[in-house]
Amino acid sequence: MIGSNRGVLAGAVLALSAVLLPAAPATAGTASVPDAAGDSKQAVDLLRLDVRHAAPTSPRRLVLRARHDGLPPFSSGTFTTVTFWIDVNRANPGPEFVSDVSPNTGGISLSRVGGWGRRGERVEPCPGLRATADVFSDGPVVLRVPRVCIGEPRRVRAAVVAVGETVGGDVVGRDWVGGRRHWSPWVRR
C-alpha cells in the first residue's frame, strides 16, 4: 500500500511540476507588420507581412508571408509582382537580398543587391528556394528561403511591396506593407 501511495504521489508531483514550470521559450522568432485595408491604389491590397525566422515547421528557413485581400485574375489585365526585400546586416541599413514572386508563373530566384536600387544585382544559387502565389486562391504569397542562402544570419528583417502592371508594362499601382520601404522588426532565430 505504501509503495502504491508513493507512485500516486510521484505522479501528482510530476503533473504539478508540468503545470507550474514556465513554458519553454519559442525556438523561432516571429514578427508581423499590419497594413491598412483599402489603402492600395491597385487590384491587390496587401494587409500584413509575417516574418518567421526558423519556424518549427521549417527549422532551416526564413519564411515570409504577404497576406492580401485577393490577387487579381489574369482576365483583369493587371499582373502583380510581390517583391520581398531581406536585410541581414544591421550595420548596413538597406537590403542585401531581394526576390520577386509573380503568381502562377514560376521562375523564382533570390538576388544579392547593394540597396533598394538593386545596385550590383546578381542572382544567388539557392537550392530549396520556394514560393507560393496563386491567383485562384485567397492564400498568402509565401517565400521560403533556406538560411544558408542568406548567410545563416542570427537576425533578419523584411519588407514587401506589390506592384500591379498592365501587359504593356505600365505600373498601375504599388502597395507597401506599413509604408514605402518599411521594415519589419528584427527577428532572431
pLDDT at 148: 95
CA distance 74 to 142: 19
**Would the pTM count as exceeding 0.95?**
no
Sheet strand arrangement including 141-146: 29-34, 46-53, 61-68, 141-146, 130-132
Rg value, the chain, Cα:
22
pLDDT score for 1: 47
What stretches in the chain show pLDDT beneath 50? 1-27
* Cell numbers given for 24: 519553454
In one-letter notation, the amino acid at residue 38 is G
**Structural domain spans, the chain:** 27-188
pLDDT value of position 128: 94
Looking at residue 71, the DSSP 8-state letter turns out to be: P
**What is the pLDDT at residue 164?**
87
Q: pLDDT at position 12, please?
A: 39
Residue pLDDT, tens place only, 2-43: 444 444 444 433 333 333 333 333 335 899 999 998 887 677
